[in-house]
Structure 1
């Protein structure tokens, strides 16, 4: 392998409000760019010899946020210069990203066969809900476009947890995926390892003029179907609101049909965060930290 060539895995965060999802936007589409477009522009700022191509592990939708997404790319430097160290690479990329709501958390040099998407062992999403706030203008500014605001002052959390338990395990999640072009090529059978409902919080909680109850719905799986997390979150909130019973949610799951999912229940994008992408330590080279939390999951 050439001395000036290296493959890197980067972990990065972004506020998804102004971006057209995580992946790049086709050149002919006159709309806002994807996070990948800006990351690739930043890599080009390093003036590599090779063509820049980023492979993202998790394709979040328009408006969805991430505290930890990941991607790999190859970089060959000019004039036989040695590969960037990981710390220098992070600082350089963040310099070029300074005008965007995107930041690289850290980088790892990885083996040349490593693939950020296919080597990922699990992905974790957290869906955030704020109660008793019928409009986003009632939230502290620190929460604007970062949670789903509900008029409800309470949810039936017990029923939500009972419904969430039905989703855990190996299931055909056809009812919880939205129609897209990938449908014929992806199996609807997924293993959901975690579906939990816990109290959440806000940075401004102790400083704001009124108390706002926050809840977090957490989902972990090796992979998810298109809009599966938002549909599961919306269905669980529907149970908490009394709009959907636990037996009805079970019927939706067992129908294995996208059309069986109740209309208008899908949770909005702006409450969703990708919070972890985990890898096996053995798949990385000289990298003691393998996830955004510093832990690996097999």
Structure 2
């Protein structure tokens, strides 16, 4: 089978955990152990989130040159390389006979996407309300509530086209585990002469992964995070895990736009357009989600 797995930012760095190199390597090592059995049996493409990491790099850049911050497209590229390196190395250590490659991935977005006028993608560390007000004033950032805390939010335009798709396809056809579209890929737009230029945004990695899975004609899309399943009535005493459901039924439920919402939307789009299977659940359950015995499985013929 051909499988695309998207690792959520919270699967690579736990909530509230300092984004140190040691913490990230430890978490990536855990992720690699969960993915290795799948890589042994299937064609595997891995994507990942970058919210904490791109936010950290933005803070570092602002501290160095506050009057000349690095644009988000360059920071997206840096996080693709950094996280991809860790995944590639740790997975390679477990599977020395399996070739792995990290590929920086440019993804086209529409310069007229309404998201540019309504930033809602959380990145970076969490702040208290007072801290959030301070950094918003000092740096001119948009800030929004993220659970009990606040985070910086940036535009998140919808992914349209993956420029390195043919290279990814070539590598997968040769048995290479490919790590690509990290952090949703590097957002770029086409200029009038056909050349590309990066834009100030962070693409949602779940929507980018769904596009990647569709274009690669994958059999399965797995969106792995730190929650064991999709829940009805999340955060209430009536919360109940959804184990198997059709995309049509799943779309009728409400989910938080900043957390489970994009995963549900991405999973539904993949299943509806390909007839394949999508799974949402926690990283440690990756293999049993694939077997339909854990997480939430979205398929067209669910009871």
What's the TM-score, normalizing by structure 1? 0.27
Rg: which structure is higher?
1
What's the TM-score, normalizing by structure 2? 0.27
Specify which structure has the higher proportion of helix. Answer: 2
